[in-house]
Homo-oligomer: A and B are copies of this chain.
Amino acid sequence: MLGLMQDWPLLVHKIIDHAAQNHGDREVVTRSVEGPIHRTNYREIAVRARKVAEALDRLGLKEGDRIATLAWNTWRHLETWYGITGMGGVYHTLNPRLFPDQLIYIANHAEDKVIFFDITFASLVEQIAPKLPKVELYIAMTDAAHLAEMTKKSGANIPNLVAYEEFIAGSSGTYEWKQLDEKAACGLCYTSGTTGNPKGVLYSHRSNMLHAMMCAQTDAQAVCSRDSILPVVPMFHANAWGLAFSAPMVGAKLVMPGPKLDGASVCELLTTERVTMTAAVPTVWLTALQYMDQNNISLPHLNRVMIGGSACPRSMIETFEKKYNVQVIHAWGMTEMSPLGTIGTLKHHVAELPHDKQMDYKVKQGHPVFGVEMKITDDDNNELPRDGKAFGRLKVRGPAIVKGYFRGEGTDAFDDDGWFDTGDVATIDSESYMTITDRSKDVIKSGGEWISSIEIENIAVGHPAVAEAAVIGVRHPKWDERPLLIVVKKPGAAVTREDILEYLKGKIAKWWMPDDVQFVADIPHTATGKIQKTTLREQFHAYRLPTAAE
């Protein structure tokens, strides 16, 4: 049966080629690491990406080799990604916010051969370089003059060092992209992971391309050629949520913030570059909204902002929508999912609800885009009802979702049917709006039923005397686990165990009632401000519940 359709492997360099050919004049604007605003376009970026590829090829790098970047969102970082993937390499984004020891572990685990870095990170690179025996070349993402200036100023001593502009200077820009299998590796990103070593997620050309096409849907990022897009979310954070691929795919203008992610800098770009769409975690918007408020800034061009990484507070959504007339797209995803999972764009029946009812949906994590399958199960992998009430382990499947971690680690996250266990506990309603209720390692398993630690915490902090609350499961001879509520009182507040329990009554199910309340001076947090429950559990290791008398 001859016939059928063309072989056209899904290779990410086709994205930059499409942009160069069909949207060649479209701008890529960067607040450069060196300081000034830098302007280029997709036509030039495609040529320079070929130069990067040619120079890497000349170095003797081979298909599948990992090449790291330790860099902000800039046009050079974009060129580097496309250049690396076009010569068959694997771009490996290093997160500069990690501790040097973590970076050393990750770069060695990945066996990075080259590290591209922004000069902001020179002293960090100097610090880790002696421990990275596999790295053959360090490329400072600047020109020779700025590199010399930086070296003089910082005194940083980095071996095998070359300036980016010199590295690519000898190349013609006519390099022919490698012909690759679409399932070839293309990118690598490590998940920070609250326990154990970071684990690598290895993206393929196919997964990145399909993910970009999923992002480009109107109910996802809705990116189009008329957009001016500011990805505040870094390229080293879960692929910049796909924007480094989806924006050139549709010919949108890209506005790259470089190293400055403070409120004033972000707001300035939003205005001067007439940004229509932007994306970042809630903490960025917390400071940006404060700045806007203090400086009476309006956002006439911006029409939507994508917020994810952690849950977006209701008040933030309302401020954006009511005060600035900017639509919030609340999204949820994971490094393991490329990262897009669910998206909070309004489904038709929600769009017809009154504003406050809509808000009840907007604070949820959203519904899955096409290409993401989602289910919740109990511990025995039995699927739970999609009724918005039952909560269980959230499992996902799709073409842009990890099949296994790099080098075969963390196999317990995958089941035989190919579902990946997200480690989150969630509800799904009948129309597929998903709400995360807990992390699966924090949920309390009491007599075969699950209790959401987060829900009790959210209610407990409503008590006027409570500054912060955390709930952990504590061993119980009869129920396996029972909830213990740990409370930090507000300064000067007088409140008893009984007051708190009384306050909870009627607000949560009877069997969810904590068996005890313990007051502490403070609760430990992670670097990103989340409650560090592993540490809490260690602190309360010797604690016995009053109800646990055997």
Contacts and interface: CB of A to CB of B under 8 A. Distances in A.
B3 A202 contact: yes
Given A251-B347, A346-B226, A398 B200 contact: no
Nearest to A111: B1
A432 B4 contact: no
Q: Which of A3, A223, A431 has the most CB of B within 10 A?
A: A3
A91 B2 CA distance: 16
12 contacts: A5-B204, A6-B398, A6-B420, A8-B397, A8-B399, A18-B373, A24-B430, A213-B370, A216-B218, A225-B347, A226-B347, A250-B370
Question: Which 10 pairs show the lowest CB-CB distances between chains A and B?
Answer: A3-B202, A5-B207, A8-B399, A218-B224, A22-B432, A3-B406, A2-B408, A213-B213, A6-B403, A219-B224
A400 interface: yes
Given A213-B213, A253-B348, A347-B226, A370 B18 contact: yes
Nearest to A351: B226
Residue in A15, A226, A420 whose Cβ sees the most chain B Cβ within 10 Å:
A226
Given A7-B403, A403-B6, A407-B3, A225 B348 contact: yes
B64 A1 contact: yes
Contacts of A216: 216-218, 370
Given A3-B202, A3-B402, A7-B418, 11 more contacts: A2-B406, A2-B408, A3-B200, A3-B408, A6-B398, A6-B399, A22-B432, A210-B213, A217-B250, A222-B224, A226-B347
A25 interface: yes
A5 B203 contact: yes
In the complex this chain forms, how many copies of it are found?
2
Given A3-B406, A217-B250, A370-B250, A8 B226 contact: no
A183 B8 CA distance: 12
Interface string A397-440: 11111111111100000000010100000000011100000000
A406 B345 CA distance: 42
A4 B401 CA distance: 9
Contacts of A367: 22
Contact of A348 (B6, B10, B26): B26
A214 interface: yes
A351 B214 CA distance: 25
Contacts of A226: 346-348, 351
A249 interface: yes
Contacts of A185: 1, 3-4
A330 interface: no
A404 B2 contact: yes
Interface string A368-380: 1011010000000
Given A226-B348, A347-B251, A3 B405 contact: yes
A206 interface: yes
A203 B368 CA distance: 27
Tell which of A18, A200, A202, A218 has the most Cβ of chain B within 10 Å: A218
Contacts of A405: 2-3
Given A2-B404, A8-B398, A218 B223 contact: yes
A226 B346 CA distance: 8
**Best-buried of A24, A200, A225, A405 by chain B (most CB within 10 Å):** A225
Interface centre among A250, A345, A400 (most CB of B within 10 A): A250
Nearest to A386: B21
Interface in A11-35: 15, 18, 21-26
Interface string A147-175: 00000000000000000000000000000
A87 interface: no
Interface string A63-92: 010000000000000000000000000000
Nearest to A226: B348
A65 to B, nearest CB: 10
A412 to B, nearest CB: 15
B399 A345 contact: no
Contacts of A21: 373, 432
Contacts of A210: 213
A307 interface: no
A201 interface: yes
In this complex, the member of A5, A203, A338 whose beta carbon has the largest number of chain B beta carbons within 10 angstroms is A5
A399 B9 CA distance: 8
A176 to B, nearest CB: 13
Nearest to A221: B218
A373 B9 CA distance: 13
A400 B347 contact: no
Interface in A197-246: 200-204, 206-207, 210, 213-214, 216-219, 222-227
Contacts of A2: 404-408
Contacts of A24: 430-431
A10 B338 CA distance: 18
